[in-house]
């Protein structure tokens, strides 16, 4: 009885609300309202979480944009405690790269030709190409060169200021610079704005590179003044020549080549025996000339004239290594004869030394080398203690 009364009490409490009996329909309505309240709470929570995520994304975007702006306009790298913006760095990157490209490598060959031989393609992004010699990208290679140039020019600016250098031609120099840019843009069919970006980097404008260009022009002007004071004297040219005679001396000599049938030991020994026999018959220059004619291969007309074996005014760059070492030796005297083996060509050179001289034709080159060495030593002192930080940009 007590248990049944308890159950009835529970049932009455479940089915009664302020004296009203809860029907099955009422309970469905109540359940639906509770579900709606739950969904409403979840929407509010979702909106709050979503708003937080969006706010976080916006903050991150602002931070990224701020960092990008700071890198472009304020600090891409630092040199000697000074911030270098990407705009300034890109200017030096392009200027130093173009200077390197146009530099002579050998004869009419430029460094651009040499870089092309090494696989560099100017039509492709520098960052996507690897320099086979360094293992780094070409961007890193040119960026390292740009950093060296920046150090040099920042040192020149500081040295100019410390020495009281008065840069009075700045406005005129800048006017000439902008005219050159305008003319070059016109010739290439580009706008001035596009030409600035092509020549100095993607973020460059005439306005935002002006202060860097002015510094660059000032450094150039001061550099010109320094080098004027470093011009090589006659004594310095002579001293440099004396230390590098093997590079500049010119040799007159005669040469006859005996080639083996092949590179086997037997054939090379026979060729060597012929060369030794040739040398044994040489008593003077005239006898050397006659022996050349006598030992020339059938059908070979090179030695028909006296000039056939003669080499005049030849410097080390025009000789094989083994040949140059013997001909340029300080021990050489007129009438010396020797045999030089060339294994790669399986032949022997018979050399007759006539004389060695220097006519002064390379004095300007020597003076330029002396100046470069003096300037390089001066700049090294200014830059050797400079601290740099590339922030892993390259």
Statement: the pTM of the whole predicted model exceeds 0.95: no
Query: Residue 322: what pLDDT?
Result: 87
Query: Residue 99: what pLDDT?
Result: 96
Residue 75 lies in a domain: no
Among 100, 217, 199, 210, CA closest to 148 = 100
172 and 220 inside one domain: yes
Q: What DSSP designation does 393 have?
A: -
88 and 57 inside one domain: no
Query: Residue 131: what pLDDT?
Result: 96
State the CATH number of the domain containing residue 339. 3.10.50.40
229 and 129 inside one domain: yes
Query: Residue 15: what pLDDT?
Result: 45
Q: How far apart are CA 234 and CA 221, in angstroms?
A: 26
225 and 266 inside one domain: no
Are the C-beta atoms of 340 and 322 separated by less than 8 Å?
yes
Domains identified in the chain, total number:
3
Rounded to the nearest angstrom, the gap between the alpha carbon of residue 386 and the centroid of all alpha carbons in its chain is: 20
**CB proximity list for 364: less than 8 A, separation 6 or greater:** none
Among 79, 70, 217, 203, CA closest to 146 = 79
Residue 72 lies in a domain: no
Helix (H) or strand (E) holding 54: helix 24-73
Among 159, 133, 160, CA closest to 144 = 133
229 and 284 inside one domain: no
331 and 382 inside one domain: no
136 and 204 inside one domain: yes
Catalogue the E-assigned strands of 239-376.
Answer: 250-259, 310-314, 337-342, 347-357
pLDDT per residue rounded down to tens, the chain (394 residues): 444 444 444 344 444 444 456 676 666 666 666 766 766 766 666 565 555 555 555 444 444 455 576 678 889 999 999 999 999 999 999 999 999 999 998 888 999 999 999 999 999 999 999 999 999 999 999 999 999 999 999 999 999 999 999 999 999 999 999 999 999 999 999 999 999 999 999 999 999 999 999 999 999 999 999 999 999 999 999 999 999 999 999 999 999 999 999 989 999 999 999 999 999 999 999 999 999 999 999 999 999 999 999 999 999 999 998 899 999 999 999 999 999 999 999 999 999 999 999 999 999 999 999 999 999 999 999 999 999 999 999 9
**CB proximity list for 28: less than 8 A, separation 6 or greater:** none
Query: Residue 71: what pLDDT?
Result: 72
Tell me how crowded residue 263 is: count the other CB atoms within 10 A of its CB: 12
**What does R_g of the chain's alpha carbons equal in angstroms?**
41
Q: How far apart are CA 193 and CA 93, in angstroms?
A: 18
Q: How far apart are CA 358 and CA 201, in angstroms?
A: 48
Domain of residue 264 covers 250-357
Q: How far apart are CA 150 and CA 386, in angstroms?
A: 11
Backbone region of residue 14 per phi and psi (left: phi > 0; alpha: psi in -120 to 50; beta: other values): alpha
């Amino acid at each position: 009885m007590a248990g049944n009364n308890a159950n009835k009490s529970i049932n009455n409490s479940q089915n009664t609300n302020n004296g009203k009996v809860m029907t099955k329909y009422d309970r469905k309505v109540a359940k639906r309202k509770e579900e709606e309240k739950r969904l409403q709470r979840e929407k509010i929570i979702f909106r709050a979480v979503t708003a937080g995520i969006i706010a976080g994304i916006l903050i991150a975007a602002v931070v990224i944009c701020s960092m990008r702006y700071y890198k472009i306009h304020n600090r891409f790298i630092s040199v000697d405690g000074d911030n270098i913006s990407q705009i300034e760095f890109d200017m030096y990157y392009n200027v130093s790269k173009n200077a390197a490209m146009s530099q002579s490598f050998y004869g009419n060959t430029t460094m651009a030709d040499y870089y092309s031989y090494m696989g560099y393609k100017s039509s492709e992004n520098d960052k996507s190409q690897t320099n086979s010699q360094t293992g780094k990208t070409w961007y890193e290679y040119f960026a390292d060169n740009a950093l060296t140039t920046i150090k040099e020019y920042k040192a020149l600016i500081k040295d100019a200021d410390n020495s009281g250098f008065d840069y009075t031609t700045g406005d005129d120099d800048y006017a000439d610079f902008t005219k050159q840019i305008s003319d070059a843009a016109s010739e290439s069919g580009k706008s001035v704005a596009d030409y600035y970006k092509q020549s100095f980097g993607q973020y460059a404008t005439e306005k935002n590179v002006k202060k860097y260009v002015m510094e660059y022009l000032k450094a150039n002007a001061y550099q010109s003044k320094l080098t004027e004071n470093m011009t090589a004297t006659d004594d310095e040219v002579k001293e440099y020549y004396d230390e590098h005679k093997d590079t500049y001396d010119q040799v007159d000599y005669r040469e006859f080549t005996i080639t083996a049938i092949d590179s086997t030991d037997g054939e090379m020994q026979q060729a060597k025996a012929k060369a030794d026999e040739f040398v044994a018959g040489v008593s003077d220059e005239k006898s050397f000339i006659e022996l050349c004619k006598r030992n020339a291969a059938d059908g070979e007309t090179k030695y028909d004239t006296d000039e056939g074996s003669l080499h005049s005014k030849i410097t080390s760059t025009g000789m094989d290594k083994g040949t140059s070492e013997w001909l340029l030796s300080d021990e050489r005297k007129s009438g010396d004869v020797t045999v030089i083996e060339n294994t790669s060509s399986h032949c022997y050179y018979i050399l007759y030394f006539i004389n060695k001289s220097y006519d002064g034709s390379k004095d300007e080159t020597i003076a330029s080398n002396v100046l470069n060495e003096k300037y390089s030593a001066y700049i090294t002192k200014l830059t050797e203690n400079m601290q740099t930080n590339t922030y892993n940009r390259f």
